[in-house]
Amino acid sequence: MNIQSRFDDDIAGSFSAAPGPIEQVRYACALGALTSVIAIEGAIPISHCGPGCASKQFHALSGISGYQGGEFHVPSTNIGNKEVIFGGADRLDELIASTLKVMEAELYVVQSGCIPGLVGDDVANVVQSYQRRGVPIVFAETLGYRGTNFTGHETVVRAILDQYVAKQAGPAPRSQKRLVNVWSLLPYQNPFWRGDLTEIRRILEGIGLTVNILFGPASEGLAEWRAIPSAALNLVLSPWLGLATARHLESVYGQPFLHVPAVPIGAQATSAFLRQVAEELDLDSGPVEAFITREERDYYHYLRDFAHFYAGCTSQYQLPSEVNIVGESAYALSLARFFVGDLGLNPGVIVLTENPPEHERETIHRSFRDLAPGIDGEPVFEADGHRAHAVIRAKPRIGELPLLFGSTWEAGVAQEIGAPLVEISYPATDEVVIARSYVGYRGALQLLERTYTTVVRQSTEENPETAAL
């Protein structure tokens, strides 16, 4: 068994599949990590799988997650009965050779799906024959039955680090004091990942850092990946995704990592986050505080104006008092901290849908403590939409006006409990997302706009006589 296969076994083995079928599943299979490759400028995935697998994964994640679009040019072996019987290694070899002739890229990432895994194709041997010729190509066994696109993402990242980045870096890369690698939101799975990563880059650069954001339009592509070993810090902005990568980089290059479970939303969280990063890197506090002061001045100016609505329209509109969330843990935690800690809403039902590793669940659970002084959240790990909705319905709400953040699939249960629905998680078919962000200083203002526009609109539709003239 090769090193990549052992890593895949470790990652896949940490996940527990829900018993029986899952209704309204909120993630793709491991092969869906081809979207992570598509999100890297200069990289092209090559899929070794059955016909239609790659296109279905991409269009599911891109199309019904805010209609994000994206460049989908993925060569595929489209293997069938012949390859099942005789093996598909020769077909893969033929495809790679053809791809190199007609498609230019800085890096090619071969991802294998279910069929090659079941029949035992030696993908590693095929790819390594090209690596020995100097072709920038790596392989990742993203077998669909062994995990989700979250685990597939970790597998693809590890493959690029070990088979491509390590060869570029040399034995002793020089550390750059102000360079940080950011491991955060999952591309395409989160509808707002592009805008969010752009905002994260902006605020980190605002305190004087150079940032390898690694994915999306805010990244410089593979130049950033090649610079990963030179970073002074790996920054994990997620309850769990990226932690395995940061631990691996610490063992290989001796790089420390800072784990911040909640992606910051709003001035309070964002300023605290920037100060934490600055302290970790021993930055001069003067420029850091100057940037925070400028950002908070603008933020609180807008928030002051919003407060006129928030305090003055409670008799006209039914403003929510309870926040309920159905989505992946990264956004669920951030939204809970913002709406409970900053806006004073009560925590309702919080359902985490991405089926995170068993060994990370207690850490995730602890992250929901102290959403506000003396107020804890109690997240429920549930990948099944039907059961998630049952939990929401079962919660008693005496005197509470609920607000629900979730996916398109929560429309029915939102109507049942009388909650305005704001789509923030996969799948999102009533939102078109281009560059919107809900994180940081600026993103929080957009989040407030979207949330309370939804609240006002629903209140007006239900009670036309209360509409402002």
Q: Are residues 337 and 443 in the same domain?
A: yes
Rounded Cα–Cα distance for residues 29 and 25 (Å): 10
300 within some domain: no
What stretches of 328-411 adopt beta strand conformation (E)?
346-352, 379-381, 402-406
> Which comes out higher in pLDDT, residue 78 or 328?
328
How does pLDDT run across 125-168, given as a tens digit for each residue?
Answer: 999 999 999 999 999 999 988 899 999 999 999 999 999 999 98
Q: Are 151 and 31 contacting, i.e. CB atoms less than 8 angstroms apart?
A: no
Has residue 294 been placed in a domain?
A: no
Asked if residue 228 belongs to a domain, the reply is yes
Q: Are residues 27 and 149 in the same domain?
A: yes
Does residue 109 sit within a domain? yes
In a shared domain, residues 22 and 162:
yes
Task: Please indicate, yes or no, whether residues 278 and 362 belong to a single structural domain of this protein.
Answer: no
pLDDT in tens, 235-259: 999 999 999 999 999 999 999 999 9
**Residue 271 binned pLDDT confidence (cut-offs 50, 70, 90):** very high
Q: What sign has the CA pseudo-torsion 7, 25, 447, 191?
A: positive
Q: Is residue 299 part of a domain?
A: no
Q: Is 108 left (phi over 0), alpha (psi -120 to 50) or beta?
A: beta
Query: Do 323 and 253 share a structural domain?
Result: no
Q: Is 311 helix (H, G, I), strand (E, B) or coil?
A: helix
**Residue-number span of the structural domain to which 202 is assigned:** 176-285
Nearest-angstrom CA–CA distance, 282 and 233? 12
Domain end, chosen from 169, 197, 215, is at: 169
- Edge-to-edge strand order for the sheet containing 107-112? 43-48, 107-112, 137-141
Using an 8 Å Cβ cutoff, are 428 and 65 in contact? yes
The pLDDT score that the predictor gives to residue 1 is 42
* Tens-digit pLDDT profile for residues 41-86: 999 999 998 888 888 898 889 999 999 988 888 999 988 877 776 6
pLDDT tens-digit readout, 407-443: 999 999 999 999 999 999 999 999 999 999 999 999 9
Q: What is the DSSP letter of 27?
A: S
Residues in the chain: 469
Return the pLDDT at 469: 46
Residue 335 lies in a domain: yes
> Total structural domains in the chain?
3
| 303 vs 399, higher pLDDT | 303
Percent of the chain with pLDDT over 70: 92
Last residue of a domain, one of 144, 169, 194: 169
What is the SS3 assignment for 389?
A: helix
Residue 280 shares a structural domain with residue 410: no
The verdict on 63 and 192 lying in the same domain is no
Counting Cα atoms < 13 Å in the Cβ hemisphere of 198 gives 14
458 and 318 in a single domain? The answer is yes
Instruction: Name the pairing type of β-strands 322-327 and 346-352.
Output: parallel
376 burial via Cβ count (<10 Å: 0-12, 13-18, 19+):
middle
346 belongs to a structural domain = yes
- Domain membership of residue 296 (yes or no) is no
140 bridge partner residues: 111
Residues 324 and 228 in one domain: no
What CATH number does the domain containing 330 carry?
Answer: 3.40.50.1980
Q: Are 452 and 357 part of one and the same domain?
A: yes
User: Are residues 87 and 148 located together in one domain of the fold?
Assistant: yes
Whether 109 and 130 have beta carbons less than 8 Å apart is answered as no
More confident residue, 83 or 14: 83
Judged against a pLDDT cut of 60, whether residue 112 lies above it is answered with: yes
Q: Which among 169, 200, 216 is the end of a domain?
A: 169
Q: Kindly state whether residues 412 and 451 are assigned to the same domain.
A: yes
Supply the pLDDT for residue 227: 95
pLDDT tens per residue, range 180-233: 999 999 999 999 999 999 999 999 999 999 999 999 999 999 999 999 999 999
To 10 degrees, the CA torsion angle through 82, 88, 91, 95?
Answer: 130
